[in-house]
């Protein structure tokens, strides 16, 4: 039970002081917008009124504690609204940035947090939740002992969400091809990158399932783009501002598809939390920026690029036969060392992050 | 043929003056980044080097016109690079914001620009292109004389792109239900809104196919959210900054899915061009903003909300049996008047904008 020490009333805001001595402000307009009564909320939880229908005087006539709730009368309307104190505590916004869903990492990341077992995950219970949460928190999670059967990557994505079909199909094959339309399908090493920044929207999740790997080399390199963006913010705040303010161009054209997108390399919200990283030298199209910004922007981009290649930010591992990695494609950059000889065959597919988070939310609400 | 009047050389930038007297700057770093030679570009067009691999001295030793190209020697590397003058003109960035892909509209929109005919569109040629371009330019396009067969909406989306499957399925039915999990499935009027701001990513395109409509009322109301955002920017620039800077919360929870997203209501790039509008009173979740911003943010939100309901920004039409409307769900707000009696049955589905633009790009390149 949330304990309330005191309620300080002002017609335009309440100040609630909690048992631990901290306090939260709730403005009258916020309270009116969030009334919980049946005339304002459909039983499915959706708000029934539009903001344009609200009165323009939100001031409160009175507010009083009544058991576990606070009851409020507004001046402009003949309505009394009741708010559970617990609910107010949950949604308190004063000085509270929302909790970050992610934790940044560098080369010292404990990989035991990342590995999960197929037999457990496929049961769809806590092990599934743990796998998905490692993707939400660290940006990636690996399942071991996955059957080496083609198409399994689709079944696994469909177990919590929906496959994003693209011009590459529902899944794409990563193996050496004779006439590749993409460098991924050559044996060349690949610098760390995020996939498909040229799409609108960019795929939020990518899964890669290793069906065969008996070559030398070809190790995976993973880098937390949020970690490196944080380094840039600390070391070069002006560069950080450039990469998070100006939109870069991305493009992929193979004659059958001509995909273009414009977006910032670093996405950040008003609390300074990261929302995306898009970095792909291969599909970067000519920049179109104000001429007086161009040189500084390049200095910033080169600085970020150099930081992405610092040894301290890289995690290296070999994706073995029967392993599947699911990762946040708008956060974690992936690359690979070059390889020669032997066979290497992965199947990949894209999906979106909302389903992943929804799965976790629904599972945790049931526990 | 692009005509060049003069080339002004500086080791760090070229200034090209065109036949019309205008001039463009090209910085050395931009030129080096965009070299077009085979060692730098795979034949599929992808850049072969990473920015981290570039030298840090980009300065030029020389630049000279050679026929239709300009040849440049750089100081740090033993390379000569050649740029078609036509190509430089195309990608000139000095003082040039990229062309807007959209045109804003209010109630005087000429609806003849929006209507297209199924028989022509399904041939997949210029009529298809025209329909998709009306979606890109105005945010929506209607096809008439579509067969009133269930599932047709999926075939039409698949003719240029890929259906976005969600927890509502590949398609969703819009008709009155007994226990609706969403207000769309009641006969209530719906204020103008964009769909599913609670998804990450938000569906960029929505298609609604009218299979049956013999009720009174139920007219569609469409509003160009970009137009209203422009009004807000002109009339209340401080409000505009608030709605384009602070992230709002959106949520949908029906016990089977619990979808959450945080994003700005108005998205704008560094050129001031709009990138998205997310507005949905029904699925807005309690705002979490710094306390000293909360009241001003609400004033801004209410102002935008009021503007969205100005008669001058609304287009009204009745979606008839056999009509399908495809619209940009991150730009055009849609609503409907309430209806009573009769039957109304729509099938809807979501897709993404990149495929739509790709289809247009590929078609136009072939002409």
**Phi/psi at A281 (nearest 5 deg)?**
-65, -30
pLDDT score of B218: 79
**CA-to-CA distance for A322 and A319, rounded, in angstroms?**
8
Q: Scan residues 135-164 of B and list those with Cβ closer than 8 Å to A.
A: 162-164
| Pair A240, A229: CB distance under 8 Å | yes
Please name the member of B96, B270, B352 whose beta carbon is closest to the beta carbon of A201: B352
- What are the C-alpha distances in Å from B89 to residues A135, B2, B80? 44, 7, 20
- Range of lowest pLDDT (A103-117, A162-176, A201-215, B339-353): B339-353
pLDDT surpasses 70 at A95: no
A287-340: per-residue pLDDT in tens?
Answer: 999 999 999 999 999 999 999 999 999 999 999 999 999 999 999 999 988 777
Q: From A78, A81, A83, A58, select the one nearest A4 (Cα to Cα).
A: A83
CB A298 within 8 A of CB B29: yes
- Give the mean pLDDT of B135-146: 98
Å between B322 CA and nearest CA of chain A: 28
pLDDT tens sequence across A146-168: 999 999 999 999 999 999 999 99
In sign, the C-alpha dihedral spanning B254, B259, B260, B265 is: negative
Asked if residue B260 lies in contact with residue B248, where contact means CB atoms within 8 angstroms, the answer is no
Q: Judge contact between A86 and A2, C-beta under 8 A.
A: yes
Give CA A191 to chain center in angstroms. Answer: 22
ipTM of the complex: 0.95
Report the candidate in B195, B87, B190, B147 with the shortest Cα–Cα distance to residue B322.
B147
Mean pLDDT of chain B: 94
B320 class by beta-carbon count within 10 Å (0-12 exposed, 13-18 middle, 19+ buried): exposed
E strand intervals along B254-313? 258-263, 266-268, 274-277
d(Cα B145, Cα B151) in Å, to the nearest integer? 15
Residue B122, class by beta-carbon neighbours within 10 Å (0-12 exposed, 13-18 middle, 19+ buried)? middle
Q: What angle do CA B319, A39, B335 make, to 5 degrees?
A: 15
Answer left, alpha or beta for residue A173, where phi above 0 means left and psi between -120 and 50 means alpha.
beta
The predicted-structure confidence for A303-317, as pLDDT tens digits, reads as follows: 999 999 999 999 999
Q: What are phi and psi of A303, to 5 degrees?
A: -65, -45
Which residue, among A342, A356, A352, A354, has the nearest Cα to A210 in the 3D structure?
Answer: A342
Each residue's pLDDT tens digit, B62-105: 999 999 999 999 999 988 999 999 999 999 997 678 889 999 99
**Taken in order B318, B322, B323, B329, is the CA torsion positive or negative?**
positive
Distance from CA of A287 to the nearest CA of B (A): 8
Q: Name residues whose C-beta falls within 8 Å of residue B189's C-beta, 6 or more positions apart in sequence.
A: B335, B336, B337, B338
Q: What is the dihedral of CA B192, B198, B203, B204, to 10 degrees?
A: 60
Looking at chain B, which residue has its C-alpha nearest residue A26? Answer: B291
Say if strands B172-174 and B274-277 run parallel, antiparallel, or are unpaired. unpaired
Contacts of A352 in chain B (CB under 8 A): 199-201
> Quick one: pLDDT at residue A43?
78
Interface of B with A in 204-243 (CB under 8 A): 204
Of A45, A269, A295, the CB nearest to B253: A45
Residue B291 to chain A, least CA–CA distance (Å): 5
Do A21 and A29 meet the contact criterion of CB atoms below 8 Å apart?
A: no
Asked if A353 has any chain B CB less than 8 Å from its own CB, the reply is yes
Q: Is the pLDDT of residue B248 over 90?
A: yes
Pairing mode, strands B23-27 and B13-18 = antiparallel
Split at pLDDT 50, 70, 90, the class of A187 is confident
B263, B270, B278, B357, best to mutate vs chain A, most A CBs in 10 Å: B270
B339: confidence class by pLDDT, cuts 50, 70, 90:
confident
Q: What is the pTM of this model?
A: 0.96
Predicted local distance difference test score (pLDDT) of residue B95 = 67
- Return the pLDDT at A339: 75
Which residues 54-93 in chain B show a CB within 8 A of chain A?
54, 56, 91, 93
Number of Cβ atoms within 10 Å of the Cβ of A197 = 30
What ranges in chain A are assigned the alpha helix state H? 28-33, 85-91, 118-121, 126-138, 152-158, 225-235, 237-245, 291-308, 353-366
Amino acid B214: pLDDT = 82
Residue-level pLDDT at B308? 97
Which band of pLDDT confidence, cut at 50, 70 and 90, is reported for residue B201?
Answer: very high
Token duo for residue A3: 């304990």
- Chain centre distance of CA A124: 22
**pLDDT at position A211:** 96
C-alpha to C-alpha distance for A337 and B283, rounded to whole angstroms: 45
> What is the 3 state secondary structure string of A44-78?
CCCECCCHHHCCCCCCEEEEEEECCEEEEEECCCC
The answer to whether the Cβ–Cβ distance between A358 and B290 falls below 8 Å is no
Query: Which has the higher per-residue pLDDT, A46 or B327?
Result: B327
Are residues A91 and B288, on separate chains, in Cβ contact within 8 Å? yes
Contact status, residue B327 vs residue B135, Cβ threshold 8 Å? yes
- Label residue B260 by pLDDT band (50, 70, 90): very high
- DSSP secondary structure string, A78-123? S-EEEEEHHHHHHH--TT-PPPPS-----TT--GGGTEEEHHHHTT
The C-alpha of A94 sits at a distance from chain B's nearest C-alpha, in angstroms, of: 5
Residue of B nearest to A306 (CA): B52
Q: What is the mean pLDDT of residues A63-79?
A: 96
CB pairs under 8 A between A and B: 233
The per-residue pLDDT for A180 is 67
B176 pLDDT tier (thresholds 50, 70, 90) = confident
Percent with pLDDT over 90 in chain A: 84
Contact B50 A305 (CB under 8 A): yes
The mean predicted confidence, pLDDT, of chain A is 94
Q: Is there a contact between A354 and B295 if contact means CB atoms under 8 Å apart?
A: no
Report A:164-203 residues touching B (Cβ under 8 A).
Answer: 164-167, 180-183, 191, 198-202
């Amino acid at each position: 039970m949330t304990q309330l020490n005191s309620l300080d009333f002002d017609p335009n805001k309440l100040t609630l002081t909690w048992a631990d001595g901290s306090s939260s402000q709730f403005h009258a307009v916020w309270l009116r917008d969030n009334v919980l009564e049946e005339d304002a909320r459909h039983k499915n939880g959706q708000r029934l009124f539009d903001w344009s229908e609200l009165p323009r005087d939100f001031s409160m006539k009175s507010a009083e504690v009544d058991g576990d709730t606070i009851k409020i009368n507004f001046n402009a309307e003949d309505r009394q609204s009741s708010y559970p104190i617990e609910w107010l505590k949950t949604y308190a916004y004063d000085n509270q940035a929302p909790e970050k869903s992610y934790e940044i990492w560098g080369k010292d990341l404990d990989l035991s947090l990342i590995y999960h077992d197929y037999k457990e995950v496929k049961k769809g219970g806590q092990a599934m939740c743990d796998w998905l949460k490692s993707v939400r928190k660290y940006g990636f999670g690996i399942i071991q002992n996955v059957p080496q059967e083609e198409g399994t990557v689709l079944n696994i994505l469909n177990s919590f969400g929906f496959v994003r079909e693209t011009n590459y199909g529902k899944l794409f094959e990563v193996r050496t091809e004779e006439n590749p339309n993409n460098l991924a399908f050559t044996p060349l090493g690949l610098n760390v990158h995020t996939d498909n920044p040229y799409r609108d929207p960019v795929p939020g999740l990518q899964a890669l399932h290793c069906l065969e790997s008996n070559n030398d080399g070809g190790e995976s390199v993973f880098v937390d783009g949020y970690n490196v963006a944080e380094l840039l913010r600390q070391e070069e705040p002006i560069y950080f501002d450039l990469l998070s303010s100006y939109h870069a161009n991305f493009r992929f054209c193979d004659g059958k598809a001509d995909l273009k997108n414009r977006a910032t390399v670093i996405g950040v919200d008003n609390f300074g939390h990261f929302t995306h990283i898009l970095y792909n030298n291969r599909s970067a199209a000519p920049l179109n920026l104000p001429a007086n910004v161009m040189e500084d922007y390049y200095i910033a981009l080169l600085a970020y690029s150099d930081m992405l290649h610092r040894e301290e930010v890289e995690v290296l591992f070999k994706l073995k036969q029967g392993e599947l990695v699911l990762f946040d494609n708008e956060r974690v950059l992936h690359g690979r060392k070059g390889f020669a000889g032997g066979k290497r065959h992965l199947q990949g597919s894209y999906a979106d992050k909302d389903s992943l988070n929804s799965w976790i939310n629904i599972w945790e609400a049931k526990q």
